[in-house]
Structure formats: C-alpha cells, structure tokens
Structure 1
Amino acid sequence: MTIPAPWRDIGNATRLAQGYAGRRGKEGDSSGGPKPERAGKSAWPTLVIEAGFSQTLAQLRIGMRQWFSTSNHEVKIVLLAKLDGTTSLLEKWEEEIPVRPGATTTRHSLQHQEPVLRQTITITRDTTTDPISYHVTSGALVLSFRLLFLRDPGPREGDLAFSIQELEEYAEDVWA
C-alpha cells in the first residue's frame, strides 16, 4: 500500500504525556503521522498500532485508551492486533471530537471523549489446507484520510483501504 501524502513513520518511539510532569509516556509497536504537522521529534502520531500475543484483549484496550488520553487526544486512530496460534483479531478504534459550526473544543470535552470501535476484523489461519490458507471476515480495513493526515483529502486522495488480499498477506507474514 502506498501512502498518498507526506507521511512520517514514527515506529515504536516513546512519547511522553502532555501537560503532566513526571507522568509516563507510551510506546506503541508502530506509529506514524503526517508531515510536516507531526514531523517534530516529540510530536505525537495520528496512527498507533498495538499488537499483543501474551496480553489479553482487555489489556490492549487499556493501552488504547491511554494512547488517546496521554497524547491529549492528538492520536486519532489506534489499531489493536490480538494474536494467538490460529486467529488474529484486528480492532480499529477512533477518537474524534464532534465538530459543530461555531463551537469550541474545551479541555473538559476532550477529557470525556470516549474512543469508538469502528471496525473489527478476524483473520483465521487454516492449517488443514496445503498450503496453509487465511480467511478474513468483514472486508477491507479502512483508515480515515482525514484522521490520518488532519485534513480533508485532495484530488485523487482518499481513505486508505487494506484489501482482504492485503490482510491475508499480513496474516501470512505474522505467522511465518
């Protein structure tokens, strides 16, 4: 998949909590954000990926909520990948502040924003077939351009979609 606009791969760099002296930061498994908006060394990503094999899904969800709050709501999408021997569960969580014409966003409204589960995809590994096959439920994974790049898409730009085939290739790489 080609990212259609300037993008900075932040990787697994640690980010410190904003506005809270001495508060711990977060370190995701992978992350990124738009350039130049999130190009600074201490800039927060707009996308974070958290993967877990030994962690429970509940623990991954706690980490997801921490990403949104610790970043002071600068992180916009958190992808969770819960892995086990035959299944990969992907959850796409978003936190978007509703925008009303003329309204202002306050610290209080940001602190009380709840993340929303926008998409769940299950990928199963079938080891009874030769070669091993992978099955994806619920279609492509779609990431909002506006949340990733902090602007509306321009001509020939749009949401990023990872097809079923791309998700199957991802699964094959994970279990390789």
Structure 2
Amino acid sequence: MAFQRTTTDATRQCVVDSKLLTGLPEGTPIVKYNNMKKLKNIIDTQSLDCSADSSKSPFLIVTCVDNSFFKALDNVYPDSGPRITYNFEEGGPTVILEVMKSTAQEMATGRLHLEIVLKLGKMGVEYELVSMNESEIQSLNKTWRKQPDLAFGLDGHTRWPVLVIETGMSETQQKLAIDAQGWLEAQGSDTKVVITMNIDKHSPRITFQRWEHAYTRHATRSHHPHGSVVQTVEVFHKGVNTRATGELIIPFEKVFGRMRRGRKEADIIITKNQLIRLGELVWAEQRFM
C-alpha cells in the first residue's frame, strides 16, 4: 500500500496504521482536514482529474476529522457527494472518500440491480425487498459509517440493509473484502449477504464474491461472527470465448429472514449467461471488446 507523500509531517501523524487503508490504489492522496471549503475544492479538483485521467486514484484519505465533519460534508453536498467509508476503531479520526465512480462500475452495479429486481418480480416479492443504495448507514456505536454502491432492505426495516453490493475497479480485492466485512460486522448490522464485484482494469475479467457470516459455536451477542467468502465466480473473456465459472446465488432465506412460500419463491440466481452479458457490457465500456 503506497500513498502520495506530499503531505506534511503533521498530516501523516494523524494517519493510523489501519486495515481501513488497505488496498487503496498507489498514489492515493492524503489531506489533513482544516475546513470544509478547502476540502470541497480538493474533492472537486480530484474528481475532475480522475475524469481526465483514469490512472489517478478516485479515493481521498482525509485525516484529523472532527465531530462536525459529516454535517459539514452533507451541507456542501446536499444531494450527491463523495461516498464515505469511516471506522473510528480501525482508522482513528480518518475518513476515506471515493470522489468518483467510473462508468464501467456504474454499469456493472446497474446491470446487477436490474437482474435482481427482475428475479424479485418473477417471485412476486418485489415489494418486500426495497432498494436503499442512496442511504448512508451508521453503526449503533457511531464508529463506522458507509454508503453502499447498491443495497436492499426489508420493507419497513430499512434502517440497515440485508443485502449489499460493493463494486470496485481501482481498489484491490483486499479493499472490497474490508468493505464486505464492515457491512457484516459493524455494531447493529442487519446485513446477511454482501456481493463484491471486482472489475479488472487491465483485462476483461470480473470477480464476484458472496460474503456471509462465518458462524461458530462460540458466537454470542457480544461477539459478532466474522464475514467470510462462501462463493466466488469468475467471468472472463479470452480469445474468442467468454466464460463464467458458475452462477451467482443469493440465498432466499438469508435475505428475507423467512422460509419460502409457494413454488415461485426461490434463491435469487444470476445465471452464467446473465453474468456473461454483464461482463460484456462492462468490457465494451473499458474498450476490451
């Protein structure tokens, strides 16, 4: 993990050696938070730079944040601002901002959203599971907060999503793993399933992983079980062939918290052909096809 070293010693002193920073792209800038006006200028400039040069990191490490930081950020970005990852226990007073999502990432997330919604409609449960991807979620102890790329909550219980999708391209698989574990392990979490999509920047390949709680016989209310990978699917193009190594399965009972009723209700299964189509749309945007 390498970060831009143009910061002052005082700024670097605020950065805690934490897994929160693991997997960020090389050259990710670090800035010390002084006031929101200055930070907004930095965010907007970096967003423009990323639009012009895809090799630049879309992330910004902001150190020494104070209690007024999040309210001030909401005030300057009342509609749609940078996506936040914050874990005080892991990163001290440090926030990771994602200032821009690539078109390829947005296409992948949007396509998976469509496939899931279509499956829900066929089962007749589309009103039981509602999209809530614009919501910023905060843990009960207020030490962790994040806005998902895509999320679904149970109707009437949308304080916390049960299904989360996180899409990455610039970050490594390690960064997505930390995001997935955060959703599953944060205090008060109701998340049961996390799907991560890791889009390769250099070749036509997407790695899907399904994360769930790794329950042990010693799990208690005070000791929340860890999140772990229970399924991995690779979708890739090589030569003239595009392949998916399997179907992506989202267990019905995990997400809905109940048994199935009737023949129509089943696991949400994204087929090989649907995953291949998703990949081909993304790779066309990346100019690989």
TM-score bracket, normalised by the shorter chain, equals 0.7 to 0.9
Moved over 6 A (4+): none
Give the CA deviation at 1:96.
Answer: 6.2
For 2:215 and 2:188, the matched residues in 1 are separated by 12
Q: Which amino acid aligns with 2:155?
A: K
Highest RCO, 1 vs 2 (Cα 8 Å, sep ≥ 6): 1
Extract unaligned runs of 5+ from structure 2: 1-117, 285-289
3-state SS, counterpart of residue 222 of structure 2 = helix
2:185–2:226 Cα contact (<8 Å) kept: no
Q: Which has the larger radius of gyration?
A: 2
Pairing 1:174–2:286 present: no
Q: Deviations over 1:88-122 (max 9, x none)?
A: 00100111657x9xxxx742232xx1223111000
Q: How does 1:69-80 map to 2 (within 5 A)?
A: 69-70=185-186, 72-80=188-196
Distance 1:173 1:32 in 2: 23
**Equivalent of 1:28, from 145, 148, 151?**
148
Output the TM-score relative to the length of structure 2: 0.51
Letter in 1 for 2:129: W
Corresponding residue of 2:136: 14
Number of equivalenced pairs: 158
Identity, % of aligned positions: 25
The residue that corresponds to 2:204 in the other structure is 86
| Conserved 8 A contact 2:133-2:147 | no
Q: Is the 8 A contact 2:185 2:227 kept in 1?
A: no
Which residue pairs with 2:119 in the alignment? Answer: 2
Which of the two has greater strand per residue? 1
Question: Quick one: distance in 2 between partners of 1:158 and 1:71?
Answer: 30
Give the structure 1 partner of residue 255 of structure 2: 148
Q: CA deviation at 1:10?
A: 1.0
DSSP 3-state at the match of 2:266: coil
Please state if 1:108 is matched with 2:230.
Answer: no
Of 222, 236, 242, the match for 1:124: 236
Change (3 A) 1:12 1:97: farther
* Inter-CA distance 24–117: structure 2 relative to 1 (3 Å threshold): closer
Q: CA RMSD in A?
A: 2.0
How far does residue 71 in structure 1 lie from its aligned partner after superposition? 5.3
Corresponding position: 1:44 with 2:152:
no
Which residue matches 1:62? 178
Q: 1 CA distance for matches of 2:155 and 2:236?
A: 35
Shift of 1:68: 1.2
Native 8 Å contact 2:215 2:226 kept in 1: no
CA distance in structure 2 between the partners assigned to 1:149 and 1:71 by the alignment: 20
The 1:151–1:51 alpha-carbon spacing in structure 2 relative to 1, beyond 3 Å, is same
Secondary structure (helix, strand or coil) at the match of 1:11 reads coil
Q: CA deviation at 1:150?
A: 1.3
TM-score normalised by structure 1 residue count: 0.81
Could you give the per-residue CA deviations for residues 36-74 of structure 1, whole angstroms, max 9, x where no partner exists? 3x2x4xx11111111110101011111111111225231
The question of whether the paired residues in 1 share the 8 Å contact of 2:181 and 2:228 is answered with no
Counterpart of 2:221 in structure 1: which amino acid?
Answer: R
Contact 1:78 1:93 in 2 (8 A): yes
- Gap regions ≥5 residues in structure 1: none
Query: Are the counterparts in 2 of residues 134 and 168 from structure 1 also a CA contact under 8 Å?
Result: yes
Higher helix share: 2
Question: Is the alpha carbon distance of 1:72 and 1:167 closer, same or farther for their aligned partners in structure 2, counting shifts above 3 Å?
Answer: same
